[in-house]
Amino acid sequence: MGNEPPTFCHYCGGGLTPVDPPTVHRCNACGEHVFYNPSPCSRVAVVNGESILLVKVDLPERNMWGTPGGMVEAGEDPNEAGARELAEETTLTVDPNDLVLFDVRTFAKFETIHKTYLVYAVDVADVHGTPRADDEVAAARFWTPDELKAARDELLTSWPAEYRDLRWWIDGAQAALGRNRDRDRS
């Protein structure tokens, strides 16, 4: 089931009246409330100095890149989802406990599709393997901001403004990893 705004009551099939759009609707037939909430997603920023691992979205006509990640499955912890998605998209493995949370935000990824992103950082020294694109993505490689700009490729345009800035990802991930190292030393 996709996460789209409801168009009918999933209890009885009746029509809906918005109560607090876009989140809360009430069924005209049975009176039940129907909710529309953002989908939780985990993203992983694997940093290697001044570069970050990106995966190419499998759209042949566009050179769109993003950090590895995807939907949190029912019963799954977000850091476990991040580790699973990293492995699925790049074949790299990481202990979910090595992922450091550094950003959480909810936004409309597409006009009606709302997501809550839990963004994790991990140093390349803590991942295992060599990045390779798996079935879900077209390519996987490390990029510096200058390389991405020179290639005329871009980060996903459906992301918020900060997320479309590769420097934001690198700086945020490095800061989170630095704070985590400082905390571990204390």
Burial class (CB in 10 A: 0-12, 13-18, 19+), 61: exposed
Give dist(CA 69, CA 59) in Å, integer.
Answer: 17
Spell out a b/e string for 126-145, using b for 16 or more CB atoms within 10 Å of the CB, else e. ebeeebebeeebeebebbbb
Angle at 181 between CA 166 and CA 176, to 5 degrees: 30
Write down the pLDDT at residue 109.
79
Name the amino acid, one letter, at 114: H
The structure's pTM equals 0.85
Walk me through the domains of the chain, giving residue ranges and CATH numbers.
1-36 (no CATH), 39-185 (3.90.79.10)
3-state secondary structure 107-139: EECCCCCEEEEEEEEEEHHHEECCCCCCCCCCE
Burial class (CB in 10 A: 0-12, 13-18, 19+), 54: buried
Ranges in the chain, pLDDT < 70: 1-2, 185-186
Residues 6 or more apart whose Cβ sits within 8 Å of residue 20? none
DSSP 12-45: T---EEEEETTTEEEETTT--EEE--PEEEEEEE
Write down the pLDDT at residue 1.
34
Return the DSSP state at 56.
E
Which of 135, 125, 160, 158 lies closest to 53, judged by CA?
A: 125
Backbone angles phi, psi at 57, to 5 degrees: -65, 140
Write down the pLDDT at residue 81.
98
Write down the pLDDT at residue 186.
63
Half-sphere exposure of 174 (CA within 13 A, CB side): 12
Write down the pLDDT at residue 172.
96
Cα 128 to the chain's mean position, in Å? 21
